[in-house]
Structure 1
Amino acid sequence: MKKQYISKEDLAKACTLDLFTYFKHYYPDELVKKSRNVYVTKMHDSLNIKTNGLWYWWSHGIGGRSAFKYLRDVEGMDWQVAASYLLRLMDEIPVPEVKHIEPKRKFVLPKKNQNENTIKEYLVNQRYINEDLVESCIMKNLIYEDQKTHAIVFVGYDVNYYPKFACMRSTDSKWKKDCLGSDKRYSFSIHNEKSTNLHVFESAIDLLSFITILKMKGEKIWNQNYLSIDGATGLGADINDGNIPVALDYFLRNNEIRNIYLHLDNDEAGKNTTTKIKHVLKKKYKIYDRTPKHGKDVNDELIQYIQKEKEIKKWN
């Protein structure tokens, strides 16, 4: 194909076409379904393409999102040839515009209190979460204190760091709830895009408890992914129906994860969810069951760990 001048604007337009849409819209016969949200091609069976457009060529260790990068890095096209080719396709057979449905209830974060004294006291002194970790989460706007109830607000963000989810946890009772309009796909998480490890928890407090344990052991805490799935119910009774928590499903579709560590509660709901996730995802990921051996959940595990450490210091 003859090279032609490509302006910055045209190059930017060519790069907007993701690889899944490229194959689905222009060459559907090349796609081979591998799992629920992953496809390969007839030519490259180690080229995984997710339905969100992300792709990774495992045999060569390269990946991306755009069809332009695929044509250049996998098919070996010159960048000008690849860009002009995509522009011609997009002009001749435009990709239908996807209409996004707005949520029925507008999501609005609860008003923030002037300080975080109540939640600091609760998390550090009652839940034994590391104080520096709490301060860090406050600075990153991951948690804050609700002005009206003084409950903890745990916030979840989209890829542009725009809040899409929030759940509240009382500091003086068992009361807890999701805020109206919250999108569970963006449940509370701490993200490291360079890591292929994901630790999964039922609650945000369990997530912070596990990081506290790692910190107490002197391990690095910011080099992995941590996700709260906001509970362990609603998956359906049939283990073969393919349903997994929506937050986990969304995180896996949008990140390159290889190892999943399940730290769900040591009760019937938690164990059933662990079994379900392992069954559905066992062919795609290495999955490790890290159900707490002592206590109901990871926070119980943290408290017992701290008590044990105090006993050791007492006798030394």
Structure 2
Amino acid sequence: MSKEEIQKASDVHILDYLNSKGESVMKQGKYYRHADHDSLIINENGKWYWNSRSEGGHGSISFARSFYDLSFQDAVRDVNGLSIVRDYTRDVNKEEAKVFQYPSQYEVATQKNIRQYLVNERMIDKRLVDSLIKNDFVVEDKLKNCVFKWKNSEGEIIGADRQGTVKMDTKRGYFKQILANSKEDGGFRVDVGTPNKIALFESPIDAISYYELKKPENIRLQSMSGLKDQTATTAIKELIRECHQRDQSLEIVILAVDNDQAGKTFTERWRDLLKNTEHHKPELKDWNLDLQKRKKEKVMKKEREIEMER
């Protein structure tokens, strides 16, 4: 292990390392919190601390050793072996670095990889995927990622989710990332008709899958990219304001997050806060798994019918 190799790995910002590994982090003030381990805090200066384990350190190498249980040498190799996307820099504290700028230069004209992933692997209807691409909600980037654009009511891009389409050897299986400096209380959203209802989801793919399963009308499908109270609050307030401008009122808030303990806790908290809520719970863990199950059952039923005709 040469000094040059160690220095190269040391120069990689921990947030860039996390994003390149497909680990999702959420910005909270001057700090970042790991989406799956909320006691794991990362500072903009590169320091990190995992409260539940009473462990901490500085930089990508120490983090890789602790989080992935690697030796020092393997941690250096892991950091250096990635195609690091340098969305974060050493001057993250500069104000201009905090302004979201959508990296349109990374977009490609093809949709081959995202179509294959969304239609064949996630089993989302091809016509729905075509519509999302046509209306510039979903694009493919140079790294074959599926990019879900966050747009506000004026159509401005205020953030984005990146979803990998190629399997990775990580706990998550696929690369996942929220683009640096995305609006903290923003998220991917799609309006169906003239919305007087809003449904909250944990991911863009869950929102799309729910739509295909339920075919709701006059609704805003809002992803929070996790379970973010701030995003839920802003999204509900914005739709209330838009409804008032049309001399309407917000009819219902649909809580449609994952069917797990975290989703249950989120749902119970928001049902206590709001009166006009409905809880739509997926049968399996999330809406996309429900969609895949339905599609597979249809295929099996058709195969049985063909077999019986023979």
Q: TM-score, normalised by structure 1?
A: 0.58
Give the 3 Å change call, closer, same or farther, for CA 131–254 of structure 1 in structure 2: same
For residues 147-186 of structure 1, the aligned pairs below 5 Å read 147=142, 149-173=143-167, 174-186=174-186
Q: Does 1:117 align with 2:116?
A: no
Residues in 2 aligned to 1:299 and 1:208: alpha-carbon distance in whole angstroms: 8
Q: Aligned residue for 2:224?
A: 229
- The range that moved more, 124-133 or 267-276, is 267-276
Q: CA deviation at 1:192?
A: 4.5
Q: Aligned residue for 2:282?
A: 292
Q: CA deviation at 1:297?
A: 0.6
Q: Aligned residue for 1:269?
A: 262
Residues in 2 aligned to 1:232 and 1:269: alpha-carbon distance in whole angstroms: 8
Q: Does 1:313 align with 2:307?
A: no
Instruction: Summarize deviations over 1:219-274 as a string: whole Å, max 9, x none.
Output: 4x5632111011026xxxxxxxxxxx222211211113221222211111111111
- The count of residues paired between Structure 1 and Structure 2 equals 194
Task: Tell me if the contact between 1:207 and 1:226 (Cα under 8 Å) persists in the aligned partners.
Answer: yes
One-letter amino acid of the structure 2 residue matched with residue 109 of structure 1: Y
Tell me the SS of whatever aligns to 2:165. Answer: coil
Structure 2 unmatched runs, 5+: 1-94, 168-173, 241-249, 306-310
Task: Tell me if the contact between 1:106 and 1:180 (Cα under 8 Å) persists in the aligned partners.
Answer: no
The structure with the largest alpha-carbon Rg is 1
Q: CA deviation at 1:159?
A: 1.9
One-letter amino acid of the structure 2 residue matched with residue 281 of structure 1: L
Q: Aligned residue for 2:98?
A: 105
One-letter amino acid of the structure 2 residue matched with residue 305 of structure 1: R
Residues in 2 aligned to 1:154 and 1:232: alpha-carbon distance in whole angstroms: 17
One-letter amino acid of the structure 2 residue matched with residue 156 of structure 1: W
One-letter amino acid of the structure 2 residue matched with residue 117 of structure 1: K
Tell me the SS of whatever aligns to 1:198. Answer: strand
Tell me the SS of whatever aligns to 1:261. Answer: strand
Q: Does 1:188 align with 2:185?
A: no
Tell me the SS of whatever aligns to 1:172. Answer: strand
Q: CA deviation at 1:104?
A: 5.1
Detail structure 1 runs of 4+ shifted over 3 Å in the superposition.
Answer: none
Task: Tell me if the contact between 1:103 and 1:181 (Cα under 8 Å) persists in the aligned partners.
Answer: no
One-letter amino acid of the structure 2 residue matched with residue 227 of structure 1: Q
Structure 1 unmatched runs, 5+: 1-101, 234-244
Residues in 2 aligned to 1:139 and 1:108: alpha-carbon distance in whole angstroms: 22
Tell me the SS of whatever aligns to 2:199. Answer: strand
One-letter amino acid of the structure 2 residue matched with residue 175 of structure 1: F
Q: CA deviation at 1:193?
A: 7.0
Q: Percent identity?
A: 25
- Cα RMSD (Å): 1.9
Tell me the SS of whatever aligns to 1:170. Answer: strand
Q: Aligned residue for 1:46?
A: none
Residues in 2 aligned to 1:254 and 1:192: alpha-carbon distance in whole angstroms: 16
Residues in 2 aligned to 1:230 and 1:291: alpha-carbon distance in whole angstroms: 17
Q: CA deviation at 1:139?
A: 1.2
Give the 3 Å change call, closer, same or farther, for CA 103–160 of structure 1 in structure 2: farther
Residues in 1 aligned to 2:96 and 2:252: alpha-carbon distance in whole angstroms: 32
Instruction: Summarize deviations over 1:198-231 as a string: whole Å, max 9, x none.
Output: 12110000111112223xxxx4x56321110110
Residues in 2 aligned to 1:167 and 1:117: alpha-carbon distance in whole angstroms: 18
For residues 1-316 of structure 1, the aligned pairs below 5 Å read 105-110=98-103, 111-147=106-142, 149-173=143-167, 174-192=174-192, 194-214=194-214, 219=215, 223-232=218-227, 245-256=229-240, 257-282=250-275, 286-293=276-283, 295-316=284-305
Residues in 1 aligned to 2:219 and 2:236: alpha-carbon distance in whole angstroms: 14
Residues in 2 aligned to 1:306 and 1:116: alpha-carbon distance in whole angstroms: 23
Instruction: Summarize deviations over 1:58-77 as a string: whole Å, max 9, x none.
Output: xxxxxxxxxxxxxxxxxxxx
Residues in 1 aligned to 2:178 and 2:195: alpha-carbon distance in whole angstroms: 28
Q: CA deviation at 1:103?
A: 7.1
Task: Tell me if the contact between 2:111 and 2:140 (Cα under 8 Å) persists in the aligned partners.
Answer: yes
Task: Tell me if the contact between 2:206 and 2:287 (Cα under 8 Å) persists in the aligned partners.
Answer: yes
Give the 3 Å change call, closer, same or farther, for CA 118–288 of structure 1 in structure 2: same
Tell me the SS of whatever aligns to 2:98. Answer: coil
Residues in 2 aligned to 1:303 and 1:146: alpha-carbon distance in whole angstroms: 25
